[in-house]
Structure 1
């Protein structure tokens, strides 16, 4: 098996622009720390560094990819939005939407982030790689066609899907978003479509506050092709795996995609500072095992993972490394140093039973045999 890992140092240089009380950013001035953004580069950089230290990179196809072309971006985002983004970026940066500040050169970095997702998807669909991970930054799943929000400036996964579809590489795409926040942007872009199944597994009433309900199933031709799985705060390892097993996997088998794409956020992790779920590195390992098996059963193993959120600089690297171990089958490990602690902080049997009942209700609502 050949697993690709797509990354670029420039993606770590995305910064908050007007949020950053540092040197004027852009050109050869690297942002200091997070550069004013809660969405810090260090979670991603420390994951990449951990992979180098563990030696797992030796078992991966470490790759770069060119930035998404204007034509690629314009299949998802209006020319007016792209032009405004580029002009503001060239002029020193600014903010186009809600919680989306960027510094000079932010447009080019966002295009590169989308290009990593596109490169990973193309390589898998063309048979160059069995599966792949794109360490994209800035993230993309909140970005609507003309409204960036939640740190997302371009919708990386949507741009990759539309480029692959235009190239005739696949016709049916499934997106499973397990970032702790609702993938409202990806949902909105494909809400009227039956060729893209969008599934978002998220913490209820986190971000955005007004989206992500189970009743939002799609519109027109897309009716039934959007699935939201809002979970209450406090769901841990057992609950997430049950939601995957009884809701996500049956929906994938029902849809039969040509490729499965994971919007891979690590902010459902137990130590995340802006969420309230209790997932562990082992949770992410086993969820990866579940979707990897589904890809084997449904689409010849074609599986692509695109990085989204995750804000614990200490814990995200171990969650990500567990994913890469499972994705690649490598025996080079980075054991979770917090495993004894997180095992003691999981929901008790009574709470897991409550979560299980909620999942049962959603199984019935969605008409699944989960």
Structure 2
């Protein structure tokens, strides 16, 4: 079986207002030429690089229907969906924090969720070995009734609840390696013991007030939420250590039916919204780690859903490395910045500090 890659040109047409990084322009902030940092170009350039390299031909590629109202309503209340649809039909706007959208934004967000729904469905039906959903707008910050952080609908949560409602999976593990805390996914599943949520994120990046290690789940779901706040400048070795010592043991304890990755690339060393020094090899090796875990634990069932990542230069190479690993292809798109990033990795003293940090967290989560 092959790897499926779900995408749709209409997702690239999602538009926001004029921002300077995460701040709306006006007042003390001068307008920027590029506008919202969550732009279509990082995603389009990833897709284009895969086409040019030849990797595209080795995958099953295509679009999917937008998520239906009843699928969206498994996560988002009718009041939110109605408010979003009305604002979208009226010309766009902003319903939460840093979530601007243009006319038709509701339909594009539903399409973004639909790509994740279909990717998970295809893997669980056994039609493909694994899948990647190039979803845009992203989803892991979106709460049931309040969008934030560029996220308008909770794409992964909608896909999971649809799969569970269809009886295709009972226990689902989410591994979120976006540089920002997956607060929306956490909130949606915080009291659900059948969904394990793990977030590796830069400590106190976004949101400022979530992502603490002591948030472990509620009631019967105690222990089913794992937050791994990481120090800025962690680098490649630190990410791999966190995967080895925290994420993989948690997956083995949980024994999921399928693993879903919230695949953000904003831990990249060149990202304007993160400070983590991850490389293309970081993303390649993390993908190899979850792929091996999926093969051991759940017959290889693995889905990656695109989240953040704001460097138009570097995201395509990071994403291509992930797709190389997913497909098992021999095709490569060498990272032209690799040598520079290798030289900028943390020194041995910082690595020792980071490993001690990770070991302390690992002991905490293993209680």
- The yes-or-no answer on 1:10 pairing with 2:10 is yes
Partner of 1:30: none
Tell me the distance in 2 between the aligned counterparts of 1:46 and 1:283: 20
Is the 1:17–1:104 Cα contact (8 Å) retained in structure 2?
no
Quote the residue 2:53 is aligned against: 54
Note the alpha carbon deviations across 1:136-159, whole angstroms, 9 max, x for none.
Answer: 000000000001000000000000
CA contact (8 A) 2:19 2:37 kept: no
Matches for 1:33-182 after TM superposition, within 5 Å: 36-182=35-181
User: Which residue of structure 1 lines up, in the alignment, with residue 268 of structure 2?
Assistant: 269
Q: Which residue of 2 aligns with 1:251?
A: 250
| Matched length | 355
Q: Aligned with 2:270: secondary structure? A: coil
Structure 1 residue runs of 5 or longer lacking an equivalent are 21-32
Instruction: Using structure 1 for the length normalisation, give the TM-score.
Output: 0.95
Unaligned residue ranges in structure 2 (runs of 5+): 21-32
Is the CA contact (8 Å cut-off) linking 2:18 and 2:36 kept in structure 1?
no
Per the TM alignment, residue 19 of structure 1 is displaced from its structure 2 partner at its CA by 6.5
* Equivalence for 2:306: 307
Partner secondary structure for residue 61 of structure 1 = strand
Runs of 4+ in 1 over 3 A off after TM superposition: 17-20
For residues 18 and 326 of structure 1, what CA distance do their matches in structure 2 show?
Answer: 36
Distance 1:222 1:15 in 2: 37
Q: For residues 77-129 of structure 1, give each alpha carbon's deviation from its aligned partner in whole angstroms, at most 9, with x where no partner exists.
A: 00000000000000000000000000000000000000000000000000001
Q: What residue in structure 2 maps to residue 356 of structure 1?
A: 355
Once the two structures are superposed, residues 50-71 of structure 1 have per-residue CA deviations (whole angstroms, 9 ceiling, x without a partner) of: 0010010010000210000000
The CA distance in 2 between the partners of 1:132 and 1:63, in whole Å, is 11
Match of 1:316 in 2: 315
**Structure 1 counterpart of 2:280:** 281
The separation in 1 between residues aligned to 2:75 and 2:17, in whole angstroms, is: 25
RMSD over equivalenced CA pairs, Å = 1.2
CA shift at 1:17, angstroms?
4.8
Q: Name the CA distance, whole Å, in 1 between partners of 2:282 and 2:364.
A: 25
Q: Secondary structure at the match of 2:326?
A: helix
Please say if 1:341 is aligned against 2:340: yes
Give the deviation of 1:333 after TM superposition.
1.0
